[in-house]
Amino acid sequence: MSEQLIAVLDWAALLCILAGAMLSLVAGVGLIRFPDLLSRMHTAAKPQILGLLLVLVGIGLRLVPVETNVFSVGTLVLVGLFQMVTIPVAGHITARVGYRTGRIDEESLARDELAERLEARPADEER
Amino acid sequence: MIDARDRKRIGLTGLRRRLGKVQLPMALGMTLVWMLLFDGFQLRRESLGLLVLGFLVSVVIMVLFPLPPITPGPRFHPVHLVRLIVHVLTEMAVASFQVTVLTFRPGRVRSSVVAVRMRTDSDLTMVATAIAASIIPGTLIAEINRPERILYVHMLGADSDRTIEKGRRDVWTLEERFVMALGTHEDIAALRAGGPEELERKGGA
């Protein structure tokens, strides 16, 4: 590969990794700033996933010119895939437990259609 | 009393029934993951052995932990699939920016938990929509009601009727993209039949 192309790829990789790191920083700030459990779950899961994807893309761009075999990026693909599939489950379980144990801060919710629903069927919730 | 031979026969039929539950596409997918994990595509002497071993491992997993098949299986519509991926990626980028703005805005952030009723009755599109909504910043699945096909979505920063409606519409758009890309003809028909406006009139959602 020509020198120039490698330089361009290097810069693209640099920008991707930097943007990913910034998003992860935002996630950290959000974790401190947001008031309640559910909003915190957002920051724990979200900017992080795009951040991680960007970092992975950056690493991939850096790897491709160095290694001739493109399939070595496979591990990166797997990391991204498993993160995307598992993070929603963690968020869902946390939210669910929060509701079932009454740890939801009603102050910070403008509208809560799930709580209305759960209150409508208290007998069902006892089980 | 069941004697030893009978027990053996029962064991064999059980094994055969379980082998019947092995789903070939699923096994192939797991083999692919196995190959990626062990760098099996970097051709060397062990590659073929890795492939065979990976396939055997995935069959053993499916025999030990059988799962019900995904019915009806996904149909792939290439054009819509590309549109779906582009849609999810742009939403991720835009919403990441919005969440960043919310993070640094002074004052308390108020959110809502909104019930969104799905228009199609399919496990696959429901799960896919839930996962995608969770991955896209600003929305998080708090609870799923499968029999009534309602997703309870926590929306960050949705504190007025207008923003809540917008969020609900976003989830519906997501569902529509998934149904167009993976759904069967019945799903697509169901989608056309019950638009968001009609459901709202019925007091659904």
What are the residue boundaries of the structural domains of chain B, listed by start? 4-64, 78-201
Residue that has been written with the tokens 């403008």 in this structure: A110
pLDDT at B185 over 60: yes
Q: Show residues of chain B in contact with A121, CB under 8 Å.
A: none
> In chain A, where are the structural domains located?
3-126
End-to-end CA distance of chain A: 65
Length of chain A: 127
What contacts A118, CB < 8 A, 6 or more positions away?
A: A99, A125
CB B140 within 8 A of CB A95: yes
Distance CA A20, CA A27 (A): 11
Nearest residue on chain B to A26, alpha-carbon basis: B100
Q: What is the pLDDT of residue A69?
A: 57
Number of other CB atoms surrounding residue A81 within 10 Å: 12
Helix (H) or strand (E) holding B11: helix B4-20
Q: Which ipTM was obtained for this model?
A: 0.72
Rounded to whole angstroms, the Cα distance separating B115 from A119 reads: 15
**Residues in CB range of B106: below 8 A, 6 or more apart:** none
Q: Does any CB of chain A come closer than 8 Å to the CB of residue B103?
A: yes
Q: How far apart are CA B112 and CA B164, in angstroms?
A: 7
pLDDT score recorded for residue A81: 85
What digits encode the pLDDT tens for the residues A45-93? 666 788 888 888 888 887 776 665 555 677 788 888 888 888 888 878 8
For residue range B42-54, list pLDDT tens digits in order. 777 777 888 889 8
Mark yes or no for CB contact B109/A108 under 8 Å.
yes
List chain A residues with CB under 8 Å of B137.
Answer: 42, 46-47, 50
Contact partners, residue B101, CB within 8 Å, separation at least 6:
none
H helices of A34-111, where?
37-66, 74-100
- Which among A100-104, B159-163, B173-177, B191-195 has the top mean pLDDT? B173-177
Residue B203's pLDDT is 47
Q: Is the pLDDT of residue B192 over 70?
A: yes
* Mean pLDDT to the nearest integer, A102-125: 65
Phi/psi at B193 (nearest 5 deg)? -70, -45
Give me the pLDDT at residue B21, please. Answer: 66
Can you tell me the mean pLDDT for B125-135? 83
- The b-or-e profile of B12-25 (16+ CB within 10 A means b, else e) is eeeeeeeeeeebee
What percent of chain B is modeled with pLDDT above 90? 0
Residue predicted with more confidence, B7 or B178: B178
pLDDT at A37 over 50: yes
Question: In 3D, which of B110, B119, B97, B100 has the Cα closest to residue B169?
Answer: B119
Residue of chain A whose alpha carbon sits nearest to that of B154: A38
Query: What angle (nearest 5°) sits at the alpha carbon of residue B9, between those of residues B3 and B10?
Result: 90
Which residues of A lie closer than 8 Å to B, measured between beta carbons?
A: 23, 26, 29-30, 33-35, 38-39, 41-43, 45-47, 49-50, 69, 71-72, 74-75, 77-78, 84-85, 87-88, 91-92, 95-96, 99, 108-115, 117
- B135 vs A46: CB contact, 8 Å cut-off? yes
Q: Assign B72 a pLDDT band (cuts: 50, 70, 90).
A: low
